[in-house]
């Protein structure tokens, strides 16, 4: 595996989308072919027990989730924003800093007892990932592993996910919000 400094490929944009946020922009990592490939290879290598499928969170999670599922040779479940999926769905609402959001998946996307690996680009407070875990577990899936390109440990999402029984693997960490 190459030894590229992945964190150096992530661009930080201050005060986006709100004042005080340091937005970690992964588009600059994606532009770097060897860097993106190394990131996916590291994510795959961090998972020792092969799950049955990957579940990725819209939208940036799809980028990492699709590449990871393809490299691991397993299927991909899309966890989408409200009203995006064409078939029958199950969904869950979750609280944001201001307001409520909702993610949905097809009601036949996972089977009871399936081992599902949760994937997103970044974990901050963990609200999105925890909602995804609840949605998947509600459908009978077993969720014990998650993988992110980036963790913002000071926001506590990783700790919240671990407290819910989900191991957290992240390729990069950035201090602060």
Which of 24, 58, 60, 162 does the annotation list as catalytic? 60
Q: State the DSSP H helix or E strand holding residue 159, giving kind and residue range, or none if neither.
A: helix 157-163
Nearer to ligand AMP by C-beta: 121 or 139?
121
CB 34 within 8 A of CB 9: no
| Chosen residue from 60, 81, 102, 106 binding ligand AMP by CB under 6 A | 60
| Chosen residue from 53, 121, 143, 151 binding ligand AMP by CB under 6 A | 121
Nearer to ligand AMP by C-beta: 65 or 157?
157
Cβ neighbours around 163 below 10 Å, total: 11
Q: Rounded distance, CA 170 to CA 78, Å?
A: 20
Nearer to ligand AMP by C-beta: 23 or 81?
23
Q: Rounded distance, CA 132 to CA 127, Å?
A: 9
Active site (annotated) includes residue 58: no
Q: Is the alpha carbon torsion for 125, 103, 132, 171 positive or negative?
A: negative
Binding status of residue 7 toward ligand AMP by CB under 6 A: no
Binding status of residue 158 toward ligand AMP by CB under 6 A: no
Binding residues vs ligand AMP (CB under 6 A): 21-24, 57, 60, 120-129, 157
């Amino acid at each position: 595996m190459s030894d590229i400094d992945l964190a150096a490929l992530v661009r930080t944009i201050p005060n986006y989308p709100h004042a005080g946020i340091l937005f970690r922009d992964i588009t600059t990592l994606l532009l770097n072919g060897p860097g993106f490939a190394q990131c996916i290879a590291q994510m795959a290598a961090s998972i020792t027990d092969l799950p049955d499928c990957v579940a990725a969170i819209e939208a940036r999670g799809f980028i990492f989730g699709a590449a990871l599922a393809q490299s691991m040779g397993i299927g991909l479940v899309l966890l989408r924003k409200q009203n995006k999926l064409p078939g029958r769905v199950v969904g869950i609402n979750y609280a944001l800093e201001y307001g409520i959001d909702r993610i949905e998946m097809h009601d036949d996307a996972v089977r009871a007892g399936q081992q599902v690996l949760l994937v997103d680009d970044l974990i901050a407070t963990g609200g999105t990932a925890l909602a995804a875990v609840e949605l998947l577990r509600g459908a009978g899936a077993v969720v014990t592993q998650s993988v992110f390109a980036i963790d913002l440990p000071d926001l506590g999402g990783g700790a919240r996910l671990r407290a819910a029984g989900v191991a957290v693997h992240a390729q990069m960490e950035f201090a602060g919000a």
